[in-house]
Structure 1
């Protein structure tokens, strides 16, 4: 810089080596040049010294962009080499560190002591970040067991999650469940991993399944908004459905409200049917009244209509699954008290029994209608109110009842007199409409079927034929043996299937009361026998001894007479043989000859048959000994069973005898003590 004549400073710039002048506008530096100037200017350090820029550093050539990018990639590769992303979900689960999770929880709990919802949210976010495999799993973990992926967790991690959940109330857990569902859907829409949320939801569903349906209505609304995004919607169905895997009531409600509306959509039908099979496969339901509100008339007939009318659009395996699932749904819908429930189903069954309905559907409807009429007598009065309104359907049902008249007459729940009155009313109605027989559809068929059914009922006996005493005795014996075997296998009455069934039915107190009464009665009978049988036996012997001696003497005389007659007959046999030979010469010789020939032929034939059948008998023996009489049916095991049964009966008899004697002695002592007092 130099000063000018007017007292101002003027910037002096040397030209560069290439001879090009620098770009200076109006003698001033541009912004970039000012920034470069300040960057290269000497800097003052903290101790007051001045830091100079090394000479010639500004003349160094900058690195090429390519070299910079390569160096950046190498540095990123070095930094990521120590923490590679897991390849699959199992590997990601195996990398979870219980120490890191515990440290995170300790920090969060210390900062938010009274906010368990924040603990859970942070823990869920941690899991979702850590469980981020390269290959994202199937939205519903197809092909895995129902407890996957929680089954792949280490016991320490699972225990930490469960202990954290156990410190929270149901209200907090329900809010956390909704938070996880919402975040899972939002992040999966963005293409992010959601395996951590799914894992935590599954653990929560196993721990407290009832909190998973607190916000079920909100989940149904969320399903409607995302059902066009198949992976996200499948993840929602899987996550919300976890509480119902081991709880039939919750699973049935989730299936009916959340999943069944999607059963007709191609992308969801397979999973919806699979989930229904899983819910009903545990034997739950069994037709109890508590599920009537969940699976009512409207819900049942939506499944029936789709199964029998619209399931043709499904894949064949899924269709077969649905047909196998339908009977379980029907059993649950009819509940354990069909006598008062089936009347609600009867009108809908009858309305669907159209002439143009598929034959399989008509068969199912006829079967259900007959079941309604057999088990709920009130259905007959319901039918009488619907007879004219659904006359073609009534005609089809009447024709079917003609074929089932024997079952109708033998049903114990149907009043035969009331049925005949109802059919007579149908007949009178048909006669009044005879002039319209050509214009009213089904009137002719209904009239013919009603008359035929009435004639059949007049001929059929109204009471069931009682089975013979032999059948009932065999049935009672088999039942007693089965109960004894069940109790012996379980080790006690209360642990046997019979005891558990009676306990579920609430009959254990009555059974115990009956047992006490039988025990008291048995003791009394045994005591009476011990006291009175010797007395009556001696009296009977004294009274019947003369008559028994007389009968014995008569028996001896009869045996002596029979023996004498046999001896005299033997004496007359040679005389009779000689007379036969004289009258029919050669007869005895011919008879003996043919008899010996027949005996020899029979012996030869038996030997030939034995030789021919021996290989087959050996094969049968080998098959039975190697395929049948093995394991539990091995001869030594059968021998052990027989010996064990005999020993068990012997010990049971001894225990009964000792118990009866102890009770008898105890009662005798009580009687003696009372008498002495």
Structure 2
């Protein structure tokens, strides 16, 4: 650093390469011309071209000039010490000295007291010079845990950086984050080390994740200019993506706006899918409303279309990872008040139901459409408005509803009225279209599917309404008949009901049961009134301390179990992510094939039922006309059963009478 009042400018135009000290920051005409000529320029592709690209730079260089001397200059510029330069990133980070960093901060703070941005820039430059290993690490640190390389830092160094960052405002941190990302990209384009900038960017992400998305439009434009330079672009994606590892909303926004536009490029698709897995694998810490604002209809369907249509250009393992990630994306998009938001997704799903799509995509579209119809009743009104515009797609959905109605009828029990009104409206529209001169595509299929669905709806409504109404009607008629019978006779004993009960010999048993119940109740009440207070007091005296100790121990055990559950729950996402990483797409494939097996079993059951129902009806008719006739006729069997019941009742009455008479004889003796 130059003395106060002077700035040092290094001019490379001279042959000797000497530096020139400029007093008071003023340059003469020759120095200005050399400075402009040697200044770096940004190319149209986003690259950085060194200055002085005149005729001498277009001449082919000799092998001697491109050898060792150039390497030495680069090493000097990076601040390396030749043989003392660290070989790996781990060694370079371990060499960081807290005392040197504190001394640098003290000097800069004393000179620029009210400029925290300058403190941070000098500290970042110092880090980038010191952390400069010989072996350049991967630009996105693939193969390392998410906290790498900050996890290599000592506690003292990390505390110093966090304390320095913590004393700055959000505006300063956002500007510094932009400076670090820009400087990192520029240095990497030149072929220089940028590990120090990445360390500071990760420290910023740990302290304040929101600063990473303040300049997100600028980062998106920078990514667009760097797409042809893979290492620098990967470093950019990694650096901005660090802000979203601990904040789900920030990570979702970075993934959608910065990374998804390059998912189709083979150099970036693997990292983009891997980052999405890290963001959604964290459990989604953001609120449902915030996630709904970030992952809207347009963003969701861009992911949907790429996953199901355009992902065939990706390698197979990345394609499997993307399929495994899609259910989490759908859950996040639908979880923000599905009862009012699914109506916005329904038109886009319906428009994509094309007869020429693959079976898996068609199944997914129909599943999502059914989910919209069952969770958001307003989707039926939206479908009514789109029915004529998307008639072939609506016919396909109606056919699916008709095939799955036995299962879907239970899910639609709260929207039965809306569903039936919508389907009846579809039927009227089909009738009007069928009588037109020009045939409309999909009308015949829609008419057949609508008739089948209406038949299922009517059967379900009849089955649900007939049984409860019949039971209620029978109960009301029985109660009314008994009341009318008793009031007509004037008393229960004189009514037909009473006479029937008396003829069956049940009244003596009922009277005996009533007297015994009354006596037992009186005795139990008297015993409880005398003994319960004594027993309660004695029980509290003896068992009270043990119960309190038991409650205390139970609370301790519950706390231990709860802590163990929380500990286990913290490992579940890690284990789940490890399982998905080891066997990507297994859970999604199992669900897909399970649904296929279930639909196959259901279709088989329906086909067997349809085939066997004529035979069952013939068997029923045969039994009625050939078997249950004569002595086995239903009325004969009923007559025999009534006679047997009367005979058994008479035997029981005689047995009771004999027992009573025997007891009376015993008492008289």
TM-score range, shorter chain: 0.5 to 0.7
**CA distances 1:83-116 after superposition (whole Å, capped 9, x unpaired):** 6111111111111111111111111111111111
Q: Distance in 2 between matches of 1:90 and 1:381?
A: 62
Q: Distance in 1 between matches of 2:377 and 2:216?
A: 38
**CA distances 1:246-297 after superposition (whole Å, capped 9, x unpaired):** 1101100111111111111111111111000000001115881221111000
Residue equivalent to 1:189: 189
Residue equivalent to 2:263: 263
Distance 1:416 1:205, change over 3 A: same
Larger of the two Rg values belongs to structure: 1
**CA distances 1:511-539 after superposition (whole Å, capped 9, x unpaired):** xxxxxxxxxxxxxxxxxxxxxxxxxxxxx
Question: Any unmatched runs of 5+ in structure 2?
Answer: 1-67, 469-552, 570-655, 664-669
Contact 1:287/1:333, CA 8 A, preserved across alignment: no
Distance 1:161 1:83, change over 3 A: farther
**CA distances 1:21-56 after superposition (whole Å, capped 9, x unpaired):** xxxxxxxxxxxxxxxxxxxxxxxxxxxxxxxxxxxx
SS in 2 for 1:114: coil
Pairwise CA distance, 1:492: 9.9
Q: How does 1:171-190 map to 2 (within 5 A)?
A: 171-190=171-190
Residue equivalent to 1:146: 146
**CA distances 1:131-178 after superposition (whole Å, capped 9, x unpaired):** 111110000001000000000011111111111111111111111000
**CA distances 1:446-497 after superposition (whole Å, capped 9, x unpaired):** 100000000011111475999xxxxxxxxxxxxxxxxx99995336999998
Which ranges of 4 or more aligned residues in structure 1 deviate by more than 3 Å?
Answer: 79-83, 435-438, 461-466, 484-497
Distance 1:353 1:182, change over 3 A: same
Contact 1:398/1:449, CA 8 A, preserved across alignment: yes
Q: Distance in 2 between matches of 1:184 and 1:268?
A: 19
Contact 1:352/1:365, CA 8 A, preserved across alignment: yes
Q: How does 1:219-234 map to 2 (within 5 A)?
A: 219-234=219-234
Residue equivalent to 2:323: 323
Contact 2:247/2:286, CA 8 A, preserved across alignment: no
Q: How does 1:476-495 map to 2 (within 5 A)?
A: 488-490=557-559
Residue equivalent to 1:618: none
SS in 2 for 1:311: helix
Pairwise CA distance, 1:410: 1.4
Residue equivalent to 1:359: 359
SS in 1 for 2:369: helix
Distance 1:339 1:285, change over 3 A: farther
Q: Distance in 1 between matches of 2:354 and 2:235?
A: 41
**CA distances 1:373-419 after superposition (whole Å, capped 9, x unpaired):** 00001000110111111000000000000122123321256421232
Question: Any unmatched runs of 5+ in structure 1?
Answer: 1-68, 467-483, 501-553, 562-677
Q: Distance in 2 between matches of 1:237 and 1:111?
A: 35
Distance 1:82 1:254, change over 3 A: closer
SS in 2 for 1:293: helix
Contact 1:140/1:234, CA 8 A, preserved across alignment: yes
Distance 1:487 1:438, change over 3 A: farther
Pairwise CA distance, 1:229: 0.8
Pairwise CA distance, 1:352: 0.4
Distance 1:143 1:80, change over 3 A: closer
Q: How does 1:398-417 map to 2 (within 5 A)?
A: 398-411=398-411, 414-417=414-417
Contact 2:377/2:418, CA 8 A, preserved across alignment: no
Distance 1:425 1:132, change over 3 A: same
Distance 1:494 1:141, change over 3 A: closer
Residue equivalent to 2:597: none
For the aligned residues, what is the CA RMSD? 3.3
Contact 1:285/1:332, CA 8 A, preserved across alignment: no
Distance 1:164 1:413, change over 3 A: farther
Contact 2:292/2:333, CA 8 A, preserved across alignment: yes
**CA distances 1:509-567 after superposition (whole Å, capped 9, x unpaired):** xxxxxxxxxxxxxxxxxxxxxxxxxxxxxxxxxxxxxxxxxxxxx9xx89x99xxxxxx
Distance 1:227 1:489, change over 3 A: farther
Pairwise CA distance, 1:308: 0.2
Q: Distance in 1 between matches of 2:562 and 2:84?
A: 60
Higher relative contact order (CA closer than 8 Å, sequence separation 6+):
2
